[in-house]
Amino acid sequence: MLLAAAAQAAAPSSRTAADTVFRNGYIYTVDASDSVQQALAVRVGRIVYIGDDAGASALTGKATKVIDLQGRMLMPGLIDAHMHPQSGGSRLLNCSLDYAPLTVVQFQSRIQACLDKDRRPDAQRWLVVVNWFQQGILPEGADISAATLDALQTSRPIIVRSSFGHSALLNSIGLSAAGINAATPDPAAGKIARDANGKATGLLEDAAQDLAMNLLPVLTPKENLAASTAALKAMREQGITTFLDAYTDPETMTAFRRLQRQGKLSARAHFAIMIEPESAPTPAKAVTALVKQARQYDQGATAVTPSMQVRHAKLFMDGVISAPALTGTMIEPYYVDKGSPGHPHWVPGDSKGPASYFPQPVLRSFLQELAKANIDPHIHADGDGAVREALDAIAYLRGTPEGKRIRPALAHDEIVDPADFPRFAELDATAVLSFQWAKPAPDTMASLQPYMGPARAALMEPQALLLNKGARIAFGSDWPVDRLNQWFALKVGVTRTNAPEAGPEFAGRLGAQPGMPRSEVLRAITMNAAYTLRQEKLTGSLEVGKLADLIVLDRNFFQIPEEDIANIKVLQTVVGGKTVYEAR
């Protein structure tokens, strides 16, 4: 436990004394020179001093709370620049497959257990199953379809949602309830998986999921509030003091606004409102509607007390590049296996994935309208084709008067053509990456590497490659695509290795790429993430005048073996000078 005691010595007047002093620590500032200091003082929620213990003593009054760090590391609070907190919070409350690699039998038994446990067995009520690690189904290549779910003992419709958020599996009852059959056309920006006879298999990709999702009852205000509350608790424990909800809705913002008004918002909340591809014919009208909604929930300038800001728009350029979806937009075709089970032979196929969900002229129009409205675009781009088209549109925008001031972010960037590496820096476009994906795992190996071919497989998760070309790298967990585990993600960012318990088949590093330096990994989840939210003058580093958003760790990020980074625990989380979490 941290030691706190009131100072005894004569001290400055109450007007100049600090409220809290942290002393005897390893204080990593993330300032321009990544300086390390010994002490930090807070007054009225802001940092008023950072330096050595002697200097902090001069700000210690009779009422000052003094925390002896005992050499522990103190650093800026974590800023997660891409997550889905409401979904993450609600999934903590639902039937969950826990991201586990499962055999077909285990998959079925886990869902059957949820059905058996449900005390409200209404035959019309959907069972919603979450956190399905679709790429981890065992054995590799095992068939999962509506028939897999039809074998369960239930008359209820079932929807199983992939942890990636881009796929959902329905049983036959669910397909019927959603009106999906062989004649149902694929929606724009989506795909209904079909067998050789054209019959729907039960798997829905991207926008096709809405055919079922729109039938689910919306969360009640009470359920939304519970989800937001659960999400904030999980964030506090991880040390997250600011986040961007990268795809929000009015119900989510209403819940967070209620918590903020109750004084229960324990992280600075930023939200990105969705721009739908269907609004392509009327970009000005769509952006006007977005701005109207943003003004309804935005709470103004950042203050000491956490509040809400709604100043981003979310646009999807494509889906995901891993199998079975293969909905990422690529420059060159995906590979296909023309061999036999015992002798695979991977060669370029015919599919480059879907066309980008926003054609170039449409994307340019939307970005220009967003820039006029001072809304920053947050663009999902997974495949190298989607990345290139997004960068092309940003290049066009930079040539317009309003386009010079926007701060575009490209999320995920799992495959980037080397010709586009330097363009991130040239265009001042931030790459928001989920570091935890850069490890050997089912979704990067069997479900991805062979489909990329050798040259592209070597470029997967190009974190250091982009960094070395001058790109600003920010971190976004994409929770609940994965468990909310920031320290494991940061470890993977440094090592490109999985956890030991992942098994021998996933030992070693992902490819030959280097990991990121430790200092750059921390900068990505602090100052660089703050930049994407236009908060870099207020948060992201520990400097005099900035908000006192900080965390204390149980071990030193820089002084432990790199694999041990995953084991770091947060001892204390402070937002605006107020302790919102303390380990017991």
Q: Quickly state the pLDDT bin for 280 (edges 50, 70, 90).
A: confident
Burial class of residue 265 in the structure, from the number of CB atoms within 10 Å of its CB (0-12 exposed, 13-18 middle, 19+ buried): buried
| pLDDT, tens digit, 9 for 90 and up, residues 385-440 | 999 999 999 999 999 999 999 999 999 999 999 999 999 999 999 999 999 999 99
For 168-188, give one letter per residue: b (16+ CB within 10 A) or e.
bbbbbbbbebbebeeeeebbe
- Dump the DSSP string for 224-287: HHHHHHHHHHHHHHHTEEEEEEEEE-HHHHHHHHHHHHTT---SEEEEEEE--GGGTT-HHHHH
Q: Which residues contact 271 (CB under 8 A, 6 or more apart)?
A: 244, 245, 248, 252, 253, 256, 297, 308, 309, 310, 312
> Above 50 in pLDDT, residue 4?
no
Instruction: Please report the pLDDT score of residue 121 as a whole number.
Output: 66
Sign of CA dihedral 539, 544, 550, 556: positive
Burial class of residue 337 in the structure, from the number of CB atoms within 10 Å of its CB (0-12 exposed, 13-18 middle, 19+ buried): middle
Two structure tokens written together for 293:
């909604």
Q: What is the mean pLDDT of the chain?
A: 94
Instruction: Please report the pLDDT score of residue 438 as a whole number.
Output: 98
> Above 60 in pLDDT, residue 9?
no
| pLDDT, tens digit, 9 for 90 and up, residues 93-148 | 778 898 888 999 999 999 999 999 887 767 788 999 998 988 788 887 788 999 99
Three-class SS state of 31: coil
For 435-463, give one letter per residue: b (16+ CB within 10 A) or e.
bbbbbbbbbbbbbbbbbbbeebbebbbbb
| pLDDT, tens digit, 9 for 90 and up, residues 516-559 | 999 999 999 999 999 999 999 999 999 999 999 999 999 999 99
CA atoms of 453 and 53, how far apart (whole Å): 56
Burial class of residue 262 in the structure, from the number of CB atoms within 10 Å of its CB (0-12 exposed, 13-18 middle, 19+ buried): exposed
Q: Is the pTM of this model over 0.85?
A: yes
CA atoms of 138 and 489, how far apart (whole Å): 24
Rg (CA), the chain: 24
| pLDDT, tens digit, 9 for 90 and up, residues 75-88 | 999 999 999 999 89
**C-beta separation of 168 from 160 below 8 A:** yes
Three-class SS state of 194: strand
Amino acid at 11: A
- Read off φ and ψ for residue 547, nearest 5 degrees: -65, 145
CA atoms of 69 and 553, how far apart (whole Å): 10
Q: Write down the H helix ranges in 413-506.
A: 423-426, 449-457, 463-468, 486-495
Two structure tokens written together for 581:
């979490």
Q: Quickly state the pLDDT bin for 247 (edges 50, 70, 90).
A: very high
> Above 70 in pLDDT, residue 10?
no
CA atoms of 557 and 564, how far apart (whole Å): 9
Instruction: Please report the pLDDT score of residue 228 as a whole number.
Output: 96
Domains of the chain, earliest start first: 3-76+545-582 (2.30.40.10), 86-213 (3.10.310.70)
Instruction: Please report the pLDDT score of residue 234 as a whole number.
Output: 96
Amino acid at 261: R
Whether cis (ω within 30° of 0) applies to the bond prior to 480 is yes
Three-class SS state of 91: helix
**C-beta separation of 80 from 477 below 8 A:** yes
| pLDDT, tens digit, 9 for 90 and up, residues 177-192 | 999 999 999 988 789 9
Two structure tokens written together for 196:
């050789």
Q: What H or E segment, with its residue span, contains residue 261? A: helix 250-261
Amino acid at 61: G
Two structure tokens written together for 252:
């989510």
DSSP state of 196: T
Three-class SS state of 78: strand
CA atoms of 572 and 238, how far apart (whole Å): 10
